[in-house]
Structure 1
Amino acid sequence: MIPAQFGYTRPGSLAEACQELAADEEAKVLAGGQSLLPLLRMRLAYPTKLVDVGRLPELAGVHDRGDHVFIGAMATHDEVLRSGVVNADCPLVALATATVADPAVRHRGTFGGSLAHADPAGDVPAVVLALDGVLVARSADGERDIPAAEFFVDYLESSLRQGEILVGVKIPKLGAGWGFHYEKFQRTAQAWAIVGVAAAVRRSNGAIQESRIALTNMAPTPVRAHATETALAGMDLGGEVRQACAEAAADTSPPGDLHAQPDYRRHLARVLTHRAVRKAAGSV
């Protein structure tokens, strides 16, 4: 289909981009365009103006900031995947990013765009939630930090305010003793996840001391499997782990569609969480 008519501007600075958004409540940010352009073509979005931030240096790159890794909003999935600091200090991010769509999309789509789009079927939001990432937003009024647990509000809805632009995300470095895995079930290699599980596990003396688990496509937003995280504390990798992972779907509200009904997604969440936890614990 052909998109509805809209204006276009390419600001020369982040401050100018924030001013453009503040001046027009119906304007939208254009980054890599891999999520927004299909919505425009299907006329599911009707912005009056696109504010193209694709060439703003303030949003670029992946940076080592000591206790955390800062991923600029305009860093592409491919750039994140190939980053030495991401692979060394935030390997769960790299594991999930490698499953995003296909190479063409990963070369164009942006890390920040995936987060701002707030699609619960996306791989990146669940990983940032599991790792307690902090998203940084900028507007004409200044900058603020938004914990990942507060960023995703509803289906395709984030807590970004009118006039705000996502600058990037801070991913804490978890350090030694942690293992990671991202388990994803999908129809084809390029398809959205029917269910995905991001798992980070810390073991000591053969037992799981701490875990962080987030689920993809099990609610209108990515969700943490808090019941399983609590149940896993102090366990070894025996049969009790499977029982703990059976709680992964607790308090979720998975969608039903042509690809899977809610009860099937709950089953997948339990199975995939068990796989992800065992693989993460085995990589410590």
Structure 2
Amino acid sequence: MIPAAFDYVAPTTVEDAVRALAEGGEDAKVMAGGQSLIPVLRMRLAAPTLVVDVTGLTALAGVRDEGDSLLVGALTTHHDVRRDPLVREHADLLRLATDTVADPQVRHRGTVGGSLAHADPAGDLPAVALAVDAVMVCAGPGGTREVPAAEFFVDYFTTDLAPDELLTHVRVPKLTGWGACYEKFARVAQAWSVVAVAAAVRVVDGEVAGARIGLTNMGPTPVRARGAEEALVGRPATAAVIAEAAARAAEGANPATDADGDAEYRSHLARVLTRRAVTTAVGVRP
């Protein structure tokens, strides 16, 4: 199909981008890599009057070390995240999840910021951001503000971003030395998660000292598996403890029923994938 007609601007500064969004109002859309926006434009699931193309804001690409966190530019592509040595050393869960995004063509064009701002419940990066307590850096007419991941994702395809705000960076706390795993159950043809689990676990002297677990596609927003985390921390990193914790993975989730599976099936997958992800992250035999 052919998209509906729209105006197009390509700002060269963040300030210009914010100004364009403010002028366009709620009928404006941001285009970064375009891997989410272009398909919905072609299917006319979205019909903005203005598209603000931010691909020229090269200052918003790349990863920077900021002491206790990494600052990931919103325009950093999935491909570049996968290859970045800082991400591999300090935020390996982000790398592992990014490895599963779509296909090589999409990973070379799609961006971290675009994925997070799109807020697809089946997208891979929102659950990681929630699990690691990432913070979104947003620029608007009034300046810059920072929004914790737990407050950023509001509903299906909805975030806390105002119509005149732009996601510029993602602040990712360092989890150096933590084991990590992203377990994903997906329809092979599309790579969208039916359910996926992002797990980062720190083990000290055989005991779980920290656990971060996020669930993909278990509700309208990513879900933190607090029950499973609580059942792990302070206990031995054994297969029995992991199985007991994984049984609590779906607590508090609100999975949908659709063509890919009903809510009960998704809850089952969450428990199974949590056990696998945590087992891999801590390095014990199942």
- How does the TM-score come out when normalised to structure 1? 0.97
- Secondary structure of the residue aligned to 2:70 is strand
Cα distance, 1:126 vs. partner?
0.6
- Partner residue, 1:84: 85
Aligned partners of 2:28 and 2:163 also within 8 Å: no
- Partner residue, 1:29: 30
- Secondary structure of the residue aligned to 1:93 is helix
- Partner residue, 2:217: 217
Supply the distance in 1 between the matched residues of 2:254 and 2:41 (Cα, whole angstroms).
28
- Please list every run of at least 4 consecutive aligned residues from structure 1 whose deviation after the TM superposition is greater than 4 angstroms: none
The residue correspondences of 1:109-128 to structure 2 (distance < 5 A) are 109-128=110-129
The aligned amino acid for 2:69 is H
The residue correspondences of 1:136-215 to structure 2 (distance < 5 A) are 136-176=137-177, 178-188=178-188, 190-215=190-215
Deviation per residue, 1:123-170 (Å, 9 max, x gap): 111111111100100012100000000000000000001200000101
The aligned amino acid for 2:218 is M
- Secondary structure of the residue aligned to 2:34 is coil
Aligned partners of 1:117 and 1:156 also within 8 Å: yes
Q: Which runs of 5+ in 2 are unaligned?
A: none
Cα separation, partners in 2 of 1:201 and 1:145, compared to 1, 3 Å: same
Cα distance, 1:43 vs. partner?
1.1
Aligned partners of 1:101 and 1:189 also within 8 Å: no
Matched residues, number:
282
Supply the distance in 2 between the matched residues of 1:279 and 1:18 (Cα, whole angstroms).
43
Cα distance, 1:57 vs. partner?
2.4
- Partner residue, 2:267: 266
- Secondary structure of the residue aligned to 1:181 is strand
Supply the distance in 2 between the matched residues of 1:234 and 1:62 (Cα, whole angstroms).
33
Aligned partners of 1:102 and 1:190 also within 8 Å: no
Cα distance, 1:89 vs. partner?
1.1
> Which 10-residue stretch deviates more, 203-212 or 110-119?
203-212
Cα distance, 1:189 vs. partner?
6.3
- Partner residue, 2:108: 107
- Partner residue, 1:16: 16
The aligned amino acid for 2:50 is K
> Which 10-residue stretch deviates more, 153-162 or 54-63?
54-63
Cα distance, 1:181 vs. partner?
0.7
Instruction: Work out whether 1:4 is the aligned partner of 2:4.
Output: yes
The aligned amino acid for 1:229 is E
Aligned partners of 2:139 and 2:168 also within 8 Å: yes
Supply the distance in 2 between the matched residues of 1:203 and 1:40 (Cα, whole angstroms).
46
Supply the distance in 2 between the matched residues of 1:78 and 1:57 (Cα, whole angstroms).
16
Q: Which runs of 5+ in 1 are unaligned?
A: none
Supply the distance in 2 between the matched residues of 1:183 and 1:191 (Cα, whole angstroms).
13
- Secondary structure of the residue aligned to 1:255 is coil
Supply the distance in 2 between the matched residues of 1:175 and 1:98 (Cα, whole angstroms).
19
In percent, how many aligned pairs have the same letter?
55
Instruction: Work out whether 1:71 is the aligned partner of 2:88.
Output: no
- Secondary structure of the residue aligned to 2:193 is coil
Aligned partners of 2:91 and 2:176 also within 8 Å: no
- Partner residue, 2:249: 248
Cα distance, 1:190 vs. partner?
4.4
Cα separation, partners in 2 of 1:182 and 1:72, compared to 1, 3 Å: same
- Partner residue, 1:234: 234
Supply the distance in 2 between the matched residues of 1:265 and 1:55 (Cα, whole angstroms).
40
- How does the TM-score come out when normalised to structure 2? 0.96
- Secondary structure of the residue aligned to 2:259 is coil
The aligned amino acid for 2:168 is V
- Partner residue, 2:53: 52
Cα distance, 1:241 vs. partner?
2.0
Supply the distance in 2 between the matched residues of 1:104 and 1:260 (Cα, whole angstroms).
28
